Amino acid sequence: MSVLFSPITLQGLTLRNRIVISPMCQYSADNGRATAWHMIHLGHMALSGAGLLCIEATAVEPEGRITPGCLGLWDDATEAALRPVMAAIRQYSKIPVAMQIAHAGRKASSHLPWDGGQLIPPSQGGWVPFAPSAVEQKPGEAPPRALDKAGMVRIRNAFVETARRAIRLGIDVIELHGAHGYLMHEFLSPIANKRTDEYGGSLANRMRFPLEVFDAVRAAIPADKPVGIRVSASDWIEGGWDIAQTIEFAKELKKRGVAWVDASSGGVSPSQRITLGPGYQVPFAQAIKEATGIPTIAVGLITDFQQAEEIVASGKADIVAMARAMLYDPRWPWHAAAQLGASVEAPPQYWRAPPHDQKTLFGDIVSGGR
């Protein structure tokens, strides 16, 4: 029996299989508001047969967007724009839905990736980003504004308000974005955090603000709604954030009831030197799981069916998350199930889709018609 297609329970929420659709920025929002693109994209992914669908990094305030096109959930208008998207998913799919809530920190106010992705100055319609310290992301860029205590309280409260709005929309799971060089990762990493107060310097101090955000979000939403986190387990820079510090951070999160750690890496500096290869980040998930016992999600160039099966069957991680592979093949879970002798859930409109030799792909169903 396939382990990849076995269920897993995370703090009361049971996933039908171990495949998660990663949060993938679409840069297609209108002033933070979801658009028809989100209806099409998320609706499409909701019919994929995966165990969990995670909505893209969703900014907790306008200044927390990576780009002007990034999704947000900070007021009634952004909440209202997501409501029909969630209603459509719920009407036609049983897939649980997560939302990754985020603040871009010093990487905010950027052009869309297909427009170069560089910092947009205020004179050209951008804004001054916030960060732990006034240290620029790239040499030659204008520095961000260092957060004072009032600004940190504002952002912490914004995370709470976004999480509450997400739950009101019917979101099942919250994932905090603590990776890829965005605000919480910036606090963790000595590359970006040069503070001399109680939020900088030692590991305990650098962890303080991300843990405060986690505590506040966890306390603000129902206990049966899991809260996980995505981390960058390494900056891939000498003297930066690394797996040993990540494990200490995970231990603190475990005390606070984290549901999982989603182990990615990099993003805090263009000086990073990443060694790419299939499953290159899986050892991070494995190390965190072995050191803490927290359920982990493995990500990063996981594309092959047997590769994904081996990761969970061997216990390297509990779940795999797919991003580019799902964009390339939105029915990846169907095809994996067919190869691994498993089944997936699909809407009745698709029950006649499998080839004749895969009639059990959707379980014991009868598809009639004339």
Instruction: Name the domain count of the chain.
Output: 1
Nearest to 260 by CA among 54, 31, 10: 10
Note whether 162 and 244 are within 8 A (CB): no
pLDDT of amino acid 102: 98
- Residue 101 to residues 12, 43, 136, 157: CA-CA distances in angstroms? 21, 20, 23, 13
Helix and strand counts by DSSP (H, E) for the chain: 10, 12
Nearest to 180 by CA among 131, 130, 233, 132: 233
Residue 363 covered by a domain: no
pLDDT digits (tens, 9 = 90+) for 310-350: 999 999 999 999 999 999 999 999 999 999 999 999 999 99
Q: What is the pTM of this model?
A: 0.95
pLDDT of amino acid 184: 98
pLDDT value at 368 more than 60: no
Residue 368 covered by a domain: no
Enclosing domain of residue 151: 8-358
CATH number, domain at 353? 3.20.20.70
Distance in angstroms (rounded) separating the CA atoms of residues 306 and 353: 23
Note whether 262 and 216 are within 8 A (CB): no
Residue 169 covered by a domain: yes
Residue 365 covered by a domain: no
pLDDT of amino acid 362: 87
Nearest to 298 by CA among 314, 284, 277: 284
pLDDT of amino acid 151: 98
Residue 35 covered by a domain: yes
Q: Which residues contact 156 (CB under 8 A, 6 or more apart)?
A: 209, 212, 213, 216
Active site residues: 182
Average pLDDT (42-57) is 97
Q: Which residues contact 42 (CB under 8 A, 6 or more apart)?
A: 53, 55, 85, 89
Report the share of the chain in percent with pLDDT over 70.
98
pLDDT value at 1 more than 80: yes
* Residue of 156 and 279 predicted with greater confidence: 156
Note whether 143 and 126 are within 8 A (CB): no
Residue 364 covered by a domain: no
Residue 1 covered by a domain: no
pLDDT value at 253 more than 70: yes
pLDDT value at 358 more than 90: no
H/E segment holding residue 31: none
pLDDT digits (tens, 9 = 90+) for 213-239: 999 999 999 999 999 999 999 999 999
Q: Which residues contact 229 (CB under 8 A, 6 or more apart)?
A: 175, 176, 177, 178, 214, 253, 258, 260, 261, 262
Would you tell me the crossing angle of helices 243-255 and 282-292 to the nearest 10 degrees? Answer: 50
DSSP 121: P
Backbone conformation region of residue 311, classed left if phi is above 0, alpha if psi is from -120 to 50, else beta: alpha
Nearest to 79 by CA among 175, 166, 173, 177: 166
Up-side HSE of residue 22: CA atoms within 13 Å toward CB? 23
Distance in angstroms (rounded) separating the CA atoms of residues 45 and 29: 18
Nearest to 95 by CA among 326, 353, 251, 276: 326
